[in-house]
Structures are given as C-alpha cells and as structure tokens.
Amino acid sequence: MYKKKFFLIVFEGIEGSGKSFQAKKLFKNIKKRGIKALLTREPGGIKSAEIIRNVILKDYFRGNKKNEFDKYTDTLLYLAARNEHVQKKIYPAFKKKKILICDRFIDSTIAYQVHGKGVSKSFIDNIHKYILKGIKPDLTFVLKVNILKALQRLKKRKKMNRYDNFSKDFYIKAQKAFLKIAKRNKNKYYVFDNSRDDNKIEKNILDTVLHKINYR
C-alpha cells in the first residue's frame, strides 16, 4: 500500500543522458502497481508553458547570429514557463497529494544557465522565491553519461532543437554542474551512469522510488 502524499521526483541530466526515457519508464512502472502519478516536463508541461517552450527551444543558433537571445532574456523565458507550470500543474498536484514525475526542474536552470552561460545564480534564486511556492523535489535522479555516447544518441534523433546542438565542451560543463549539485545533496539525489543501454537502471530507479514512498 502507498500512503497518499505529494512527492516530487525529478530527472536531470544533459541531452542524450536518457533522462526523458527513464522518466517515462518510471511513470509506467509505478502505474502498473496501482500508484496514481502524473508525468510532466520542463520547460512545458501545460499548454501555456509549452508555447514558451516552442520559443526557447527553437534552433535560432543556425543562420543569423543576430537572432540569438541575450542570456538573461533566455533565462527569463525559462522562468516564465516554470511559473506557469508551478501555478497550473505542480502546485495543484501538491494540494491533491499526487506523485509528480518531472523531466527537468530547477537544477537544469543552474547547470545550463548559471554554469553553462554565466547567468547570476542570485538573479535566479530571487525569482524562484516568488514562483516556487516553497516546492522542492523530494527525490532527484541525475543520469550521467559518457559524452561521446550522448552525442551518438543525439545524432539518431529525428527531431532536434537548439539544445541538441551545443558543443561537446558545453555538455561536459553542464554534466559536471549536475554532479556537483548532487554531491552536495546526497540524501535526496541519486546518480546513475546511463552510458549503457540496459534495464538495470530502470529497476534501480523503481526500487529507489518504491522505498522512498514506503510502498509495501
């Protein structure tokens, strides 16, 4: 049995780490056990946030460089999408005591915008004070991956956005940031190497979640 309570599970990692795939697998696996859950993503998750997602993930790095957003404009768009997501999906799930599985959340902003692009962390932290409503992940899975393996996976994608086209060095920097964040918060973070395509990680993630929510 599972005692109903709000529980936020987040998957983080660079492109090609397999985080979206594992988030979907977890969602299916816990539903099989009769546990009601919601699967969402950032940026996006609801219609209004998906509209913003379409803007910020458009591959404007190709072609005219003048069309590229300033890094703070880019960050504000992400935070605007997050505000819509929190207000209309995450907080309602909190009030209804749902299990919510989210593909990316605040750590992606820190890894990509702060460590990757040099945006001020205090700038982001100050906005988060107003939009997060005190909500924090209860459990975060960081999927690390061999960079060359990640790039191979990206080449196989039928649909790509601008974040699938960053440099190898950018992905290395972002992954180091995710691992650094996880190292500081060992109680709520689990790091798995997802370089190999096998089912062991799927099982390890499921077992971890069932243990954390006291499922019997």
Q: Is the pLDDT of residue 54 over 60?
A: yes
Tens digit of each residue's pLDDT (9 = 90 or more) over 55-105: 888 755 555 566 778 899 999 999 999 999 999 999 999 999 999 999 999
Helix axes 121-131, 71-85, angle to 10 degrees: 20
What separation in angstroms does the CA of 137 have from each of 41, 122, 159? 13, 20, 29
Which residue in 68, 70, 81 sits closest to 108, CA to CA?
81
CATH of the domain at 35: 3.40.50.300
Confidence (pLDDT) at 1: 55
Residue 33 lies in a domain: yes
Residue 2 lies in a domain: no
- List 100's β-bridge partners, or say none: 8, 38
Range of the domain at 82: 7-212
pTM to 2 decimal places: 0.93
User: How many folded domains does the chain comprise?
Assistant: 1
Q: For 6, phi and psi rounded to 5 degrees?
A: -70, 135
Q: Which residues of 175-211 are buried (b: 16+ CB within 10 A; e: fewer)?
A: bebbeebbeeeeeebbbbebbeeeeebbeebbebbbe
Residue 1 lies in a domain: no
